[in-house]
Amino acid sequence: MASINAEYLGFNLKSPIIASAGPLTEDADSLKRLEDAGVGAVVLKSIFEEQIEEDVKNNYEKSEEYLNFPVADYHFRDFDRNFYIDKYMRLLIEAKKSLDIPVIASICCKTKDGWSEYADRFVKCGADALELNYYPISSNSNVEGRDVDKNLLEFAKKARKDLKVRLSLKLGNKYSSIANIIKELDSLKIDSVVLFNRFYEPDINIDNLSFIPGPVLTGSNDYTDSLRWIGLMSGEIGMELCANTGVHSAKTLIKMLLAGANAVEVCSVLMKEGPQKISEMNKGLSDWMDKNGFEHVSDFVGKMAQENNKLGYNWERTQFLKMIK
Ligand SMILES: Cc1cc2nc3c(=O)[nH]c(=O)nc-3n(C[C@H](O)[C@H](O)[C@H](O)COP(=O)(O)O)c2cc1C
C-alpha cells in the first residue's frame, strides 16, 4: 500500500493535509479530533497583532482612572497585551502536550516587527514552526505597486533575521508580480510560502444599504489560482510551497501535489463537512497512488510543474489563447 507521508518544513508528516488556521484550530479538543482524523499538522488560529493593539487601546480608554499615572499606564497596557499572548501560549502548550503531529503557530502581523517578541515566546513554548500573515494590500492610490512589494520583502527579511524557527509566509495573490515575490522570498531563505490566503471581502446588502461580509467559506472551484501559481513556480525555486484555498477533495489535493505543492492547508471543507473529511481525502490519495503505481508522495510531487513537464507551457496564457480561438 502507498505511503502518504509528506516532507514539509523539515517534518515527515503522516499526511500532506494540514488543518489551516481557523475556528477548528482554536481549541485543544478540536485539534485532537483533527489529529485523530488524520491531518499531518495543524496551524493554530492566528493571534492578530492588530486586534491586540486595538483592544489594549479600547480597554485603556475605558479606564480613565489610570490616565494621570504614567507608571500605571505602562503596566496596564502591558498586562492587557500579555492577556492575549498568554492565552495563545496556553493553547500552544496544551496542543503540544496532547498532539503528536507538528503544531504551527500563526500570527497575523500588522507591523514589520511589533510581534517578534511574542513570536519568540511561542517558539520557546514549543511551536514547531511559525506561519506569518502579512498583507500590505494598498488601498492608498499614492503608493506604487513596487513599494507594496518592497514592504513585504522588508518584512520577510526582518522576520528571517529575527526568527531561527522554520518559517512560512501565507501570501495573498494581489501583487503585481507574484513570480518575482516568490523568487525573492526563496532567496531570503523563507522555508515555505502558503499560496494563497483568502481575504475578507466586504459586500453590500442592497435592501438596507448596509455592509455585510462576503462569502466566508470557499467553494470547491476556488482552487485554480493557487494551482496555477504552484505549477508555474514550484520547479523554479528551492523553497517549499503549500497550497491553500479551495482544496475540498482528494482530487484537488492530488492536483496540487502534481503541480508541486509539498502540502495543502484546508479549512472551509472541514467546517462544512467535519474532520472526518480528512480520512476520506487521505484514502482518496492512497487509492489513487496505488492505482497509478506511486509508492511515495515524493514520486509524483511536481510531476506536472512547468519546469518538469514537456507540456508545462499549458500553465501559461498562450494555451488559454489557443483554447478560446
Ligand atoms: C472563519 C474563518 C476563520 C479564519 N481564521 C484565520 C486565521 O485566524 N488565520 C489565518 O491565517 N487564516 C484564517 N482563515 C483562513 C483559512 O485558514 C484559509 O486560509 C482560507 O479559508 C482558505 O482555505 P479554504 O479554502 O480551505 O477555506 C480563516 C478562515 C475562516 C473561514
246 lines ligand 1 (CB under 6 A): yes
Calculate how far, in angstroms, residue 268's C-alpha sits from the geometric centre of ligand 1. Answer: 7
Comparing 321 with 259, which gets the higher pLDDT? Answer: 259
Domain 6-324 falls in which CATH fold? TIM Barrel (3.20.20)
pTM for the model: 0.91
Give helix 70-98 / helix 49-62 axis angle, nearest 10°: 140
Rounded to 5°, the CA angle 16-21-231 comes to 45
The tens digit of pLDDT for each residue in 79-132 reads 567 888 999 999 999 999 999 999 999 999 999 889 998 999 999 999 999 999
Residue 219: CB partners within 8 Å, gap ≥ 6?
246, 248, 268
- Residues 163, 10, 172, 202, CA torsion sign: negative
State the closest ligand 1 atom to the C-alpha of 266, by its place in the atom list counted from 1: 26
170 lines ligand 1 (CB under 6 A): yes
Q: Give, for ligand 1, the residue of 42, 267, 278 to mutate: max count of ligand atoms closer than 8 Å to Cβ.
A: 267
Q: Nearest-CA neighbor of 158 among 112, 111, 107, 108?
A: 112
Q: Kind of pairing, strands 192-195 and 202-205? A: unpaired
As a whole number of angstroms, the distance between CA 76 and CA 61 comes to 11
pLDDT of residue 201: 83
Look up residue 117 and give its three cell numbers. 517578541
Residue 45 has pLDDT above 90, yes or no: yes
The tens digit of pLDDT for each residue in 252-299 reads 999 999 999 999 999 999 999 999 999 999 999 999 999 999 999 999
Peptide bond connecting 196 to the previous residue in cis, omega within 30 degrees of 0: yes
Comparing 67 with 301, which gets the higher pLDDT? Answer: 301
Residue 172 has pLDDT above 60, yes or no: yes
Q: Give, for ligand 1, the residue of 84, 88, 198 to mutate: max count of ligand atoms closer than 8 Å to Cβ.
A: 198
Q: How far is CA 129 from the centre of its chain?
A: 12
Residue 26 has pLDDT above 80, yes or no: yes
pLDDT over 70 for what percent of the chain? Answer: 88
Calculate how far, in angstroms, residue 64's C-alpha sits from the geometric centre of ligand 1. Answer: 37
Rounded to 5°, the CA angle 187-44-96 comes to 100
23 lines ligand 1 (CB under 6 A): yes
Q: pLDDT-derived band of residue 301, with 50, 70 and 90 as boundaries?
A: very high
State the closest ligand 1 atom to the C-alpha of 244, by its place in the atom list counted from 1: 23
Q: Which helix (H) or strand (E) holds 133?
A: strand 129-133
